[in-house]
Amino acid sequence: MKEAARRVRGVVLDVVVWLLLSLLVVIDASNNPNRWELFGGLVAVTVASATLRRYPTVSLAVTMSTAVLIAVGWGGRVAVWEVFFMLTMAYRAGLRTTRVWRVGVTCGAIVLAGLPVALVLPHTGLEAWAGMLGVMAFAAVTPWLLGRFVRTRGALSRTGWRLAAEMENRQRLVADQARLRERARIASDMHDSLGHELSLIAVRAAALEVAGGLDEPQRTAAGELRESAATATERLREIIGVLREDAAPVEPVQGDLGELVDRARASGLLIQSQVDDVVAAPPMVARAAYRVLQEALTNVAKHAPGAAVTVRVLSSADATEVRVLNAAAPAGPLPGKSGRRGLIGLRERVRLVGGTLQAGPRARGYELVAKLPHDAAPVEETAESRDADEAVVGPSNSARELELARRDVRRSLVQAIVIPVLMFGVVLGGGGLVFLVQWNESVLPASAYEQLRIGAARESFAGLLPARQRIALPVTGEPPVPPGSGAPGANCEYYGTGRSWTNDDYAAYRLCFVNGRLVAKDYYSEDRR
């Protein structure tokens, strides 16, 4: 339903834009007695509007092609409808164009097509072509780039939250998997401990069952106790088997902390340690301390090989604290990608014994601190702790995709600003160069001007004339055209006087011919007013 409504709004917008542009063509083209402007303008607006949605490149090509008419001109007037037509349709085409290379080819073809048109038609030249390029740069290319930027930004806005949500879901899934894995480890530890205790109960019940001095009811009770303990052990084994992961087994979370440090030291770690005996700590706390120290030393070996490590395990009657501090790695971390799940598992294990875990960079190193109370209930999991776990996981593929999309938006914005400026610089520099060349090659020296005689044939002094005529002429001060200059075979030529182009007042020589003979020569300038 929403999609249908959106399409209807789009069609209505297309019709309204087409009507407004057509009305502008009718009003503006009425100033030109040549009806071809009106006909061509209406055709261009209609074709560009009809092909915009399905073939935006074709619509843009039709729009840009009207820039060629700027080089031709409409009787010396500027067609306002062409500028507004390019501004509107180029922007709307930029909202729909996906393949940039097609637009580049189209723009280049139109630019090249305008060059011979400007050179062949009368009263035009490279200056008209440069003007066409300038209009294209700001009335067509700039709006198209702006539309492309808006399109890219809109796509980012539509997909950004979806990618962010997907990224958060993935991070949450990884964190949940790490927590479940650690809980399975804890369950396995409990199985080893509780299974051992149940086995001892079964053994003692069996001994009691065969011991002398008991009557029959007592032996029966002892046998039932033995069977119940065996059944409980079997059920416990089945439950832990369900919880246990299929992945390769991890190192048992039990053992002597001093031996763990010695093994790490023997593997090459530079460890300075102070390890208290944790025999007085509850079994779950002792295993948590072992697991924290084990993971911390593993991370040091992986991410800071060769760094000095300080290990402190302080145990009292109320709590046990594990503190591992390592300096910065002298040679950087080992190659390979980190799973980033170890800290999540540690935080879950520490939480279940009622403790806290802090880990992060310190001055020129990294520190991990776990505080494990001996008599505390599990800490309730909070949103902050879950966010911390998800932050440890790091950015996912969705985050990278989102960053790439943002980079495309920034690149489109830069292009929308830089490319028109560069095009303007090229047009300005190229037009200025053409102007200077034409200015210098159209200078008629004063000595040559004095040699020209009225009535002489042009062929007799053609060698004195420059190769080009002056285009930049004074706008005032031109004397009346001599009689007969408007007849067939009559024409006037204009040449420069040698006055610098930096002078605000232009000057020129005018030579008028009738049937190839000089009938008048005049000097005029803007400072003669």
Domain termination site, one of 124, 145, 179: 124
Q: Examine the domain organization and report whether 380 and 450 are in the same domain.
A: no
Tell me which residue of 370, 333, 395 sits closest to 168, measured CA to CA. 395
Q: Examine the domain organization and report whether 351 and 275 are in the same domain.
A: yes
Q: Is residue 153 part of a domain?
A: no
Task: CATH number of the domain at 329, please.
Answer: 3.30.565.10
Q: Examine the domain organization and report whether 6 and 110 are in the same domain.
A: yes
Phi (first) and psi of residue 191, to 5 degrees: -60, -45
Cα 374 to chain centroid distance, Å, stands at 51
Strand-pairing partners, residue 318, are none
pLDDT at 529 over 50: no
Q: Is residue 370 part of a domain?
A: yes
Q: Examine the domain organization and report whether 366 and 301 are in the same domain.
A: yes
Q: Around 185, how many Cα atoms within 13 Å sit in the side-chain half-sphere?
A: 26
Q: Is residue 163 part of a domain?
A: no
Task: CATH number of the domain at 516, please.
Answer: 3.30.1450.10
pLDDT, tens digit, for every residue of 482-512? 876 666 767 888 898 877 766 667 788 999 9
Tokens of 123: 């009263």
Q: Examine the domain organization and report whether 270 and 381 are in the same domain.
A: yes
Tokens of 130: 């440069």
Q: Examine the domain organization and report whether 368 and 257 are in the same domain.
A: yes
Q: Is residue 237 part of a domain?
A: no
Domain termination site, one of 106, 124, 142: 124
Place of tokens 């006037």: 492
Least confident window among 171-185, 211-225, 439-453: 171-185
H/E stretch holding 273 reads strand 270-275
pLDDT, tens digit, for every residue of 268-325? 788 999 998 887 888 888 888 888 888 888 888 878 877 899 999 999 889 999 999 9
Q: In whole angstroms, give the CA distance from residue 480 to residue 471.
A: 19
Q: In whole angstroms, give the CA distance from residue 165 to residue 143.
A: 33
Which residue has better confidence, 8 or 502? 8
pLDDT at 479 over 80: yes
pLDDT at 527 over 90: no
Domain termination site, one of 75, 96, 124: 124
150-172: b (≥16 Cβ within 10 Å) or e: bbbbeebeeeeeebeebbeebbe
Label residue 379 left, alpha or beta by phi (over 0 means left) and psi (-120 to 50 means alpha).
beta
pLDDT at 61 over 80: yes
Q: Is residue 245 part of a domain?
A: no
DSSP 443: B
Q: What is the pLDDT of residue 192?
A: 52
Q: Is residue 433 part of a domain?
A: no
- Report the C-alpha dihedral over residues 458, 461, 462, 463, rounded to 10 degrees: 170
Q: Examine the domain organization and report whether 285 and 352 are in the same domain.
A: yes
Q: In whole angstroms, give the CA distance from residue 525 to residue 529.
A: 8
Number of domains in the chain: 3
Which residue has better confidence, 349 or 425? 349
Positive or negative torsion for Cα 413, 419, 420, 422: positive
Q: Is residue 297 part of a domain?
A: yes
Strand-pairing partners, residue 321, are 314, 371
Q: Examine the domain organization and report whether 390 and 452 are in the same domain.
A: no
Contact 428, 487 (CB under 8 A): no
Which residue has better confidence, 517 or 218? 517
How much is the mean pLDDT over the chain?
Answer: 76
- Report the C-alpha dihedral over residues 136, 24, 77, 144, rounded to 10 degrees: 0
DSSP letter for each residue of 380-398 = PP-HHHHHHHHHHH---HH
Q: Around 135, how many Cα atoms within 13 Å sit in the side-chain half-sphere?
A: 28
User: Which residues form the domain of 467?
Assistant: 446-525
Q: In whole angstroms, give the CA distance from residue 476 to residue 524.
A: 9
Q: Is residue 406 part of a domain?
A: no
Q: How confident is the model at residue 31 (pLDDT cuts 50, 70, 90)?
A: confident
Q: In whole angstroms, give the CA distance from residue 433 to residue 165.
A: 56
Contact 300, 309 (CB under 8 A): yes
Q: Examine the domain organization and report whether 377 and 475 are in the same domain.
A: no
Distances, alpha carbon 247 to alpha carbons 185, 341, 424, in Å: 12, 15, 64
Q: Examine the domain organization and report whether 263 and 384 are in the same domain.
A: yes
Which residue has better confidence, 11 or 433? 11
Q: What is the pLDDT of residue 373?
A: 92
Q: Examine the domain organization and report whether 453 and 366 are in the same domain.
A: no
Contact 56, 11 (CB under 8 A): no
Q: Examine the domain organization and report whether 350 and 450 are in the same domain.
A: no
